[in-house]
Amino acid sequence: MKNLKLLIAIVFVLPIVSQQATAQKKVLLKYNLKAGDKYITHSVTNQDITMQAQGQTITMNQVITSDLTTEVKKATSDSIVTANTMDKMTMDQTMFGQELKYDSSDPSTYASGRGKQIGDALNKMIGKVYSITMDRLGNIGNYDLGNLLKDGGKVSGNLKSGSSYIIFPKHKIRVGDSWEADIKPMKTDNMQVHMKYALKKLAGKKATITIDGTITANKVNGNNLNINGTISGEAVVDVKTGWTKSSQLSQDVKMKMERNGMEIPMEISSTIKTTSEKK
């Protein structure tokens, strides 16, 4: 009977000890990627958009999916160069009660009308390779968007401002620790992204990181565009490689853009879900 009570006590205490040990464990997170590594990232973005134009309120919903291949072309002790290719995109857009479907792999969806306009813009991204150079902590040093800029560069800004790499601290962290980073996505634009991260959980080979950030800008791609926004959510990171295995983010943005001398207010609420696997 005493042995049984002792066994029950041990079983009860072990989980507590395990949790305490995990909470005290420190980890150094960084991008331990090697040349030849290849990842496929699938993302789903659901957006509700409201804008005011000529006294009229326009509402729109669109769901955009994309498949992106990232291959590590070069890796040194202090930098990583990746080649990134957008393999496929889809868009399901509803506006004024009308639905528009675009699929980069189905030419019939962008053969005419509004579908052709969307296809003319988005198809420029499909299959084009652009490179990113960053350090082992995730700080972006350089973009090479030459293949996209050949087509006018209008879509390249989205790639430059949409970096999904988490920036890690220089020191080891434990559960509960937080850190901050400032990101300036485009050197030619007056846009600032301030991020706050916190290590929420360590379990096996995975680290769960919470994300909170603010986005501000008053000029994008040379155009006056006042932006104020927030982003929040969390990501699950592979402790060994630093690569984001999955993420779920919410983003709310208010903006005012000038077009033909008119100021157009716009609000965008988005949820962005990503999953990524090594190929």
- CA–CA distance, 238 with 27 (Å, rounded to integer): 12
Q: Which of 171, 168, 196 is nearest to 26 (CA)?
A: 171
DSSP-H helix ranges across the chain? 2-24, 113-122, 146-149, 156-161
The two tokens of residue 192 are 């600032």
Task: Read off the pLDDT of residues 229-268 as tens digits, 9 standing for 90 and up.
Answer: 999 999 999 999 999 999 999 999 998 877 777 788 999 9
Q: Domain-by-domain residue ranges, the chain?
A: 30-278
Cβ atoms of 236 and 269 closer than 8 Å: no
Q: What stretch of H or E contains 167?
A: none
30-278 CATH choice from 3.40.50.80, 3.30.450.20, 3.40.1160.10, 2.30.230.10: 2.30.230.10
Task: Read off the pLDDT of residues 63-90 as tens digits, 9 standing for 90 and up.
Answer: 999 999 999 999 999 999 999 999 999 9
DSSP-H helix ranges across 66-215? 113-122, 146-149, 156-161
User: Residue type for 136, please?
Assistant: R
Q: What does pTM read for this prediction?
A: 0.83
Give residue 17's pLDDT band: very low, low, confident or very high (50, 70, 90). Answer: very low
6: pLDDT strictly greater than 70: no
Residues present in the chain in total: 279
The two tokens of residue 118 are 């969307």
Task: Read off the pLDDT of residues 86-102 as tens digits, 9 standing for 90 and up.
Answer: 999 999 999 888 899 99
